[in-house]
Amino acid sequence: MTAAALGAALAIATPAAFATAGPTGPAPSSPRAAAPAAQSATWAAGTRAYLVITAPGDTSAVRSAVTANGGTVFSYFDAIGVIVAHSTSSTFATTLRGVSGVQKVGATRTSDVPADAYNPALPANPAQAAPPTTEPVRSDMTQIKADQAWAVTTGSAAVKVGILDTGVDDQHQDLAPNFNAADSVSCAYGKPDTRAGAWRDVDQHGTHVAGTVAAAKNGKGAIGVAPGVKISSVRIAEPNSTLFFAENTICGLVWAGDHGFKVTNNSYYTDPWQFNCPNDLDQAAILEGVGRAQKYAEGKGSLQVAAAGNANYDLANKTTDTSSPNDSTPVTRTITNDCLDIPAELPGVVTVAANATNGTSKASFSNFGRDVIEVSAPGESVYSTVPGGKYSSLSGTSMASPHVAGVAALLASTNPGYTPADIRAKLGEQATDLACPADSRCTGTTARNSFFGEGRVDALKAVGSTPPPGKYFENQSDVAISDNTTVESSIAVSGVTGNAPATLKVGVDIKHTYIGDLKVDLVAPDGSVYNLHNRSGGSADNIVQTFTVNASSEVANGTWKLRVNDNANADTGKIDAWNLTF
């Protein structure tokens, strides 16, 4: 699926491979893990790429067999027994399957390898726009309590998060402070390209994802979930097509393991097959190769977080695939649950579904599945960084996954000894339970179901449950909002020295079916009124947002109130919770 086609279909984050139903630095620490090998000096029409799978260790004998049987070795990964071979021979795969020591062989595409693979062009380094002068806390961050977590920690600079995607604009003013060029690379075509800038974005998807994970808390534009950690770009998308083929994914995961990434974000599926089936010889090799790479990275201490996909598809009850192969002409085929969306459905990977803007329902596009979805996170209209110093709102499970990767990075920051399994378990244990809506497709319990897994991730619990005393105050008692009434909810503040700050954070969670009815005010202890919301938003549901109020003229200690006026008939709701952060 082209970027244009997907955009027209859903206005999600562009191309097919971006987790939809259809989105350079030093050499590896283990030189044989992903070493380039001799290859054809020039590109030839009809060149196809293959994974040749053998026993991990010394692959030299099988590499010699590749060369002797009409192929060239493009790259190889001895540690996992995977060779990336190129050949123009239509019988290459069949011939190699008969060679001693070869376990599996499979074509990774149904189209030719681009000529760019033999002499890759560096991505553009875009001019940067003037930085914004504000940095509002957004509803997606308040829903997962990231804004409260920052009062405890913004994450450790010792924690590295790999962005396996279309690349990252490292010059962006919100990403440059946290960007780790030394461990960034391009793995497009399946071989590390460590030239400076090879990691840059060939679209906008990867830059957007990177901002959600770790945009700096610097007063400009946006804040990521873990704004104190480091991000590395591992570009696995190829230019022009922006597709993520298996050899690219394998290269990226091995790189992640060898370069000490505690977490990687994977907002894509491995092209060209939305689902790889073990009864197909080509797809069986892809499953084996990518599976070994994920297991290798996890064994090196790296947790993979992946988007579930945007087809509103039940991953636990697969029947058909209509979008594969997406690098040539898709066909409709019958599939079963043995066919996997990878890397999302690989063992050990955290599979993420998307919540809608209200934070409590499934985004309409999000894939789901009993015992497939691990957790959920905000995925609709997520505001984040895009290349050239700019910002944009995008939707998709591609946008949900980096929220979870950010929370995983906070867990790694506060618990340096945690293994990938430990972090994976804590993400679920600490998640906020979300009940199934009135939708027969959602099965399971409030604690674990097919729409949300174990629930929406919680950044505050990841850093230790509560912010420092004297800074954060919350009232979680429900207050009903009836038609044409005024209600109040109070918070008693004590132990804070002096006046409130000029950046007092007021977190509001109001459930109401027509927010255009509502006027919402913060009332200071002396009775001063600060308007937060005044009958805007029309028929939209719910106000889940953090407001910033200049309350520097107010004494901090005392009773603060949230006052809500309902000014019309027919729609009602409640103050679900609200909080103050000084």
Active-site residues: which are they?
165, 205, 398
Q: Cβ distance 22 to 6 under 8 Å?
A: yes
- The conformation of residue 332, written as its DSSP 8-state character, comes to E
Q: How far is CA 350 from CA 47, 247, 319, 373, 453, in A?
A: 35, 21, 23, 8, 10
Q: Cβ distance 40 to 72 under 8 Å?
A: yes
Degrees to nearest 5, angle at CA 141 with 137 and 147: 65
**Up-side HSE of residue 392: CA atoms within 13 Å toward CB?**
19
The residue type found at 407 is V
Unique residue bearing structure tokens 């399946």: 190
3-state SS assignment for residue 215: coil
Q: Cβ distance 315 to 367 under 8 Å?
A: yes
Task: Name residues whose C-beta falls within 8 Å of residue 262's C-beta, 6 or more positions apart in sequence.
Answer: 159, 160, 161, 301, 302, 303, 408, 409, 412, 423
Residues in the chain: 582
DSSP 6-49: HHHHH-BSSSTTTTS-----SPPSSTTSSEE----SS--TT-EE
Task: Name residues whose C-beta falls within 8 Å of residue 240's C-beta, 6 or more positions apart in sequence.
Answer: 114, 116, 202
Which residues are 271's β-sheet partners?
245
Cα separation, 150 vs 467, whole angstroms: 8
Q: Cβ distance 360 to 354 under 8 Å?
A: no
Of residues 258, 300, 277, 310, the one with CA closest to residue 9: 310
* H-assigned helices in 300-419: 397-414
Give me 118's structure tokens.
């033999």
